[in-house]
Amino acid sequence: MSFWLRGSLWAPDDPGVWSGQNGGNQVVSIISSYSTKIKLAPRASRGSGSRTDPTWKLLHEAVIAAAEELGGEVGVEIADYSGTTRGVDFAISTPEFPRGAGIVVSPGGEVRFLYDHYGGYRRQAQQICDLVTKHYTTLAVARALRELNYEVDVAETGQGAERRVMVRGVM
């Protein structure tokens, strides 16, 4: 990953590199886009207090935030189209999708979303999953920037489908 970044971006002998006027130091600014995946600490490293593990707590916060945004509730069970229930680590049920979408965390820390969208509920179920991922990303980015000693501000912009979160770190 780091090699990819260096290979794509920085070539010290590249004649196209611009020399800025910032006290003789070369100023470089980049814009990067990233895909994300949630992967919690493995159960072995979480130990007996797995539910107090920081990554687990982040996920819990993200679940609560997603449920609040959709006017839903957090639980530990989801249902299929026939009403059969199944236990999960976290579940979010909403007025639009009462069966709920569930989150299961494997012993290795992989996060899987589980739901039965039968009957035309694919969009509603995916929306729940996307929102959990969005909130987790926001929380993780804000904490990571603070850990890197940035002052952090978080704000929401846009409406509906255009709604985005801006996290700014300043040093």
Partner 1 sequence: MTKKIDVQVNRDGTFRAEFSGFAGDECIDQAERLQTVLAGFGLVVEPITVERKDPAQIALEIGDDEETEQKIGQEVPR
Contact status, residue 151 vs residue 169, Cβ threshold 8 Å: yes
Q: Which of residues 10-39 bind partner 1 (CB under 8 A)?
A: 10, 18, 20-22, 25-39
Scored b (16 or more CB within 10 A) or e, 55-78 reads bbebbbebbebbbebbebeebeeb
Draw the binding track, 140-159, toward partner 1 (x: CB under 8 A; -: no contact). xx-xxx-xx-x---------
Is residue 115 a contact point for partner 1 (CB under 8 A)? no
Instruction: Give 2 or 82: the residue with its C-beta nearer to partner 1.
Output: 2
Taking CB under 8 A as the rule, does residue 50 contact partner 1? no
Q: CA-CA distance, 155 to 146, in Å (whole number)?
A: 16
Segment near partner 1 (CB under 8 A), from 70-78, 86-94, 112-120, 131-139?
131-139
The whole-angstrom separation of Cα 72 and Cα 100 is 9
Least distance from C-beta 137 to partner 1, angstroms?
Answer: 5
Q: How far is CA 25 from CA 16, 21, 170, in A?
A: 16, 7, 19
- 138 interacts with partner 1 by CB under 8 A: yes
171 binds partner 1 (CB under 8 A): yes
Among 45, 47, 51, 54, binds partner 1 (CB under 8 A): 54
Least Å distance, CB 100 to partner 1, is 19
- Cβ atoms of 51 and 70 within 8 Å: the answer is no
Contact by Cβ (8 Å): 115, 125: yes
Name the strands in the sheet holding 73-79, side by side, starting at the edge strand that comes first in the sequence: 73-79, 85-93, 101-105, 111-114
Q: What residue ranges bind partner 1 (CB under 8 A)?
A: 1-2, 4-6, 8-10, 18, 20-22, 25-41, 54-55, 58-59, 109, 130-131, 133-134, 136-141, 143-145, 147-148, 150, 161, 163-171
